Chains A and B, each alone.
Chain A
């Protein structure tokens, strides 16, 4: 039987400097890692026979604009045999938002990574298919970024209809 202590110990032992921080908040343990180590960490945790984190429960991102590193990509792994949750997180720079994909370890990560790409513009290197998933394929911008406005549509009146029409984003013929 594996425990969370074993999991954190395994990751800190194997990945050394790549582990940035270990935090526990409200009973949830999270390991903060450098981006290049994420695939390795996921593989270690999944393949360790005692730990066996065989299920990717969640993958998403948070934008801390205007801080740097701007994004946090957050993972929650779950181990069915041990009934344990473990959080992983990776800080990602806003200047060059990219990190390795963990699709090779958890196939189900693909759509989650596509969603993060769509919503935050974070590039997952090594993903076999990285298209937008929720927004239309020709959409500009990444809606869940904090510098993306929640929505505001300019009101068109007869006197300024054409002027606003020129810059209004909607499907034109």
Chain B
């Protein structure tokens, strides 16, 4: 961390955002990041400090801006899908799903029930994987190093499951418009069941390390408490909002992909502090397991991807004996399908909160405009409100309790 050496070196555009005491040099203006291990990526914060108290916190984002929204406008609907993997890199399948739901809404494409159930299994596994990375890094930031290693061990098993289905660990592009890329392989179910048997015991172990650990409680209880109205006004959703006692979960409020059939609880807490966010996320992992258990137990048979050939390319096996299939294959992979004029908004509950996709069609084969409303963007916007008045040392806990992913923020 570097302090701006003299007050006259404070950049002009930041001056109105700092207090008057900063202009006279009474308070210190300190730069944190973008290469700081606890900023979870390339987040830069400009802090104004009075001693160790944070008076002002100005997040500076954009270091991971990759122009994904612009790039997607130049690709066909299906080809643009690979870019969604790369926005929130801890929720790749969830991004795929959000984008596919928007396409399916725009072109009115139905997804077979088996496809929907596979999607649910995948995004719930992704939620567990994402929460495990969050738990590991959160604990690491608060100096519990062993938890980090344990969490990554379990996450690796989930990534292996993704690899089994899609061939890729992270950038899977497995969920496609109309369903999923291919059916679950025969090895998947035994591997998933072994993991599901293992995970509750592992979660118990992590909770044994952390939940009642006095050092953990010292660093998390009462830090940055939020009330529900402030959280909503700041655009916070997901576990952070639920930790404030608002049982808002899009899987329940606006069910998509067949979530209405599954029985699960929405964990909430009361104080909205860093500790409550931890409690909520730990319970969410167990609820995700519950959903996966129900989904895999009654996995419907039938198609895993729609057979509407105007939108979904035919399988390779059809190409050998059907002229129509060859035509569809050619049309879909050269030109792509066309979507009507109009705009739709589809949202899912990502591990970090509401992930929305705004998609505008213009009658052509490329999306006219794609916008992702990402939860990390909203979370970092709320950071100044949450950090104000706290100690610099607690800022690290506050940032990681928001679970921001900078790829998600900057897109």
> Which A residues form the contact surface with B (CB < 8 A)?
25-26, 28, 30, 54-58, 60, 62-63, 74, 76, 80, 83, 85, 87, 106-108, 110-111, 119, 129, 131-137, 143-144, 150-151
Query: What 1/0 flags go to B34-63 for Cβ under 8 Å of A?
Result: 000000000000000000000000000110
Q: When A and B form their complex, what is the total count of cross-chain residue pairs whose Cβ atoms lie within 8 Å?
A: 91
**Does any Cβ of A come within 8 Å of B71's Cβ?**
yes
**Does any Cβ of A come within 8 Å of B150's Cβ?**
no
| CB closest residue in chain A, given B371 | A60
Known A85-B254, A108-B378; further 13 A-B contacts with Cβ < 8 A: A26-B342, A26-B344, A57-B345, A60-B358, A76-B345, A76-B358, A83-B253, A85-B345, A107-B234, A111-B377, A135-B62, A144-B369, A150-B73
A28 pairs with B345, CB closer than 8 A: yes
B62 pairs with A144, CB closer than 8 A: no
The residues of A that contact B378 with a CB separation of less than 8 Å are 108, 111
Q: Evaluate whether A143 and B344 lie within 8 angstroms (CB atoms) in the complex, with A83-B254, A108-B233 already known.
A: no
A134 pairs with B345, CB closer than 8 A: no
The residues of A that contact B69 with a CB separation of less than 8 Å are 119, 144
B108 pairs with A26, CB closer than 8 A: yes
In Å, the complex CA distance between A83 and B247 comes to: 12
The residues of B that contact A56 with a CB separation of less than 8 Å are 235
The residues of B that contact A87 with a CB separation of less than 8 Å are 345
B343 pairs with A25, CB closer than 8 A: yes
Q: Can you list 12 residue pairs at the A/B interface with Cβ under 8 Å?
A: A28-B344, A80-B248, A85-B345, A87-B345, A107-B234, A108-B235, A111-B377, A131-B13, A134-B62, A135-B62, A135-B65, A150-B74
B61 pairs with A133, CB closer than 8 A: yes
| CB closest residue in chain A, given B64 | A134
> Which of B71, B108, B347, B369 is packed against the most chain A CB atoms within 10 Å?
B369
**Does any Cβ of A come within 8 Å of B373's Cβ?**
yes
**Does any Cβ of A come within 8 Å of B79's Cβ?**
no
The residues of A that contact B70 with a CB separation of less than 8 Å are 143-144, 150
Query: What 1/0 flags go to B366-400 for Cβ under 8 Å of A?
Result: 00110101000110011000000000000000000
In Å, the complex CA distance between A110 and B234 comes to: 10
B344 pairs with A57, CB closer than 8 A: no
B61 pairs with A134, CB closer than 8 A: yes
**Does any Cβ of A come within 8 Å of B282's Cβ?**
no
The residues of B that contact A63 with a CB separation of less than 8 Å are 369
In Å, the complex CA distance between A30 and B344 comes to: 10
The residues of A that contact B105 with a CB separation of less than 8 Å are 26
| Interchain CB contact (< 8 A) of A55 among B62, B232, B254, B358 | B232
